[in-house]
Amino acid sequence: MSSMVASDGDVQRTHEIAEAAKRASRMIAPLDEARRNAALEAMARALETASAELMQANAEDCRAGADELSSSTMARLKLDAAKLAAMVEQVRSVASLPDPLGRRLDAVELDEGLKLEKISVPLGVLAVIFEARPDAVTQIAALALKSGNAVMLKPGKEVERTAVALVRVLRAALVEVGLPEDAVSVVLGRERVKELLGMHALVDMVIPRGSKALVEFVQANTRIPVLGHAEGVCHVYVDRVVDEALALRVIEDAKTDYPAACNAVETVLVHGEIAAGFIPKLVAQLQKRGVAVHGDDAVRALVQGIERVADWHTEYGDLAVSVGVVASMDAAMEHIHAHGSSHTESILTEDTAAAERFLREVDAAGVFHNASTRFADGFRYGFGAEVGISTSKFHARGPVGLDGLTTYKYLLRGRGQMAGEYRGANARVFTHRRETR
């Protein structure tokens, strides 16, 4: 076993590990799909075989955290036979996803015998910072390997023993199939985060998976591209011409299906013309489901005992919602652009022209018509796997599947052509014949 696994408190130098990850990434990037899938199958088998060892490491984490951790954190941390089986199953399901590499994104003949091809390739080295979930280790390692990337994992303190044991098993599986173990490594300790964030020459993408505070810290402290989002202040706008029953059920779903999710609705905006009829019903229905409704003055005039909205840029992440009245769809869009986080915005209306205008004009990763904001999700979108959700406009936006872990390169195959031939008196002329797209 290489010394690259930091275990038993033996924390290796982060830079050394990152350099090893970079070397490993260059070795796994060109592998064909069959070899990457074989490695994933080896990982799955190794996890099954190592069950006892993994449970033991996890038991130590659980014992160490017993006094300090909340019951929900303990539940996430605890590894049992069912969870391990699900983790193994997930690794196998990642193997069965379509190959994100080597996709021909474009092909142009520049001239006879001079062919340009644009193909998808891995990013290189991913650094993933996550919290108390053992399943994050195997899922991230599987997604990274499937997409030809090396990965450096920085687990939360609570799950360190489990993470080290899991990575040891995964690395042994890589060696077994003749691949570099340094394609998966683990670094331990809070100080590692700052170190990782400074290594833009070695790390190609940082994926923070955790609290809003963690994501914001990462975004503010690195030049490395970050895949993640700090907040989801999603809106539902209820237009003038609306099917009230549809609106009530969609808003209830958007708020109560999973209030802690980033795609849960935080603010409902209602067109002034229907406010008097609709808002009392909406408030009653939400309150029946235990939702604390906050309102603007118009809402508070319609329904007694509603608290005033303190800040329209609030992500409650809980059974609470802001409700406001707007004079027009334009006002709704202005509100959304001023207070939203460009995550997911939905319009509820029977007026198709209004809906299409909303879809066209609202600037967000997801813009929906007559559907719950909760659909903004990689699995629901059919990506097979979700690497994260991005509210940045760069690289990947919205739910991000395996493609988000790739970039592309241009291949040009010629016969000794020179650029100088295409200039001057007897210049050759580019054909620029696109073959496929």
Site for a second copy in 237-266 (CB under 8 A): 243, 246-247, 249-250, 252-254, 257-258
The pair of three-digit structure tokens given for residue 188, joined into one six-digit string:
């331990």
Does an H or E element contain 320, and which? strand 320-326
| For a second copy, the closer CB: 52 or 419 | 419
Beta strands per DSSP E along 73-230: 104-111, 114-122, 125-129, 150-154, 184-186, 205-208
| For a second copy, the closer CB: 63 or 380 | 380
Residue pair 336/362 in contact (Cβ under 8 Å)? The answer is yes
Q: How far is the CB of 168 from a second copy (least distance, A)?
A: 28
Phi-psi region of 212 (alpha: psi -120 to 50; beta: other; left: phi over 0): alpha
Stretch 369-408 residues interacting with a second copy (CB under 8 A): 369-372, 374-377, 380-382, 392-395, 397-399, 407-408
Which DSSP symbol is given to 3? T
Residue selected from 191, 289, 430, 435 as contacting a second copy according to rule CB under 8 A: 430
| For a second copy, the closer CB: 169 or 254 | 254
| For a second copy, the closer CB: 237 or 368 | 368
Q: How far is the CB of 106 from a second copy (least distance, A)?
A: 9
Residue 45 interacts with a second copy (CB under 8 A)?
no
Stretch 114-133 residues interacting with a second copy (CB under 8 A): 114, 116, 121, 123-124
| For a second copy, the closer CB: 84 or 206 | 206
Residue selected from 34, 52, 67, 223 as contacting a second copy according to rule CB under 8 A: 223
Place of tokens 């929906």: 368
Q: From 134-142, 158-166, 311-319, 410-418, give the range in contact with a second copy by CB under 8 A.
A: 410-418
Chain Cα centroid distance, residue 337 = 22
Cα(263)–Cα(277) distance, rounded to whole angstroms?
Answer: 27
Stretch 147-206 residues interacting with a second copy (CB under 8 A): 204-205
Say if residue 3 is exposed, middle or buried (CB neighbours under 10 Å; 0-12, 13-18, 19+).
Answer: exposed
| For a second copy, the closer CB: 25 or 267 | 25
Chain Cα centroid distance, residue 298 = 37
